[in-house]
A and B are shown apart, each in its own frame.
Chain A
Amino acid sequence: EDQVTQSPEALRLQEGESSSLNCSYTVSGLRGLFWYRQDPGKGPEFLFTLYSAGEEKEKERLKATLTKKESFLHITAPKPEDSATYLCAVEISGTSYGKLTFGQGTILTVHP
Chain B
Amino acid sequence: GAGVSQSPSNKVTEKGKDVELRCDPISGHTALYWYRQSLGQGLEFLIYFQGNSAPDKSGLPSDRFSAERTGGSVSTLTIQRTQQEDSAVYLCASSLVSGRQETQYFGPGTRLLVL
Contact = CB atoms under 8 A, between A and B. Distances in A.
B100 A45 contact: no
Given A31-B100, A43-B108, A103 B48 contact: no
B7 interface: no
Contacts of B65: none
Nearest to A42: B108
A98 B42 contact: no
Interface string B96-113: 001111111111110000
A45 B35 CA distance: 14
B43 A89 contact: yes
Interface in A32-86: 32, 36, 41-46, 49, 51
A102 B107 CA distance: 17
B103 A96 contact: no
B4 to A, nearest CB: 7
Interface string B47-91: 010100000101100000000000000000000000000000001
Given A96-B56, A99-B48, A103-B42, A51 B100 contact: yes
Given A43-B91, A44-B43, A103-B42, A98 B107 contact: no
Given A96-B98, A98-B98, A45 B106 contact: yes
B107 to A, nearest CB: 5
Contacts of A44: 43, 91, 106
Nearest to B55: A96
Interface of B: 4, 31, 33, 35, 40-45, 48, 50, 56, 58-59, 91, 93, 95, 98-109
Interface of A: 4, 31-32, 36, 41-46, 49, 51, 87, 89, 96-105
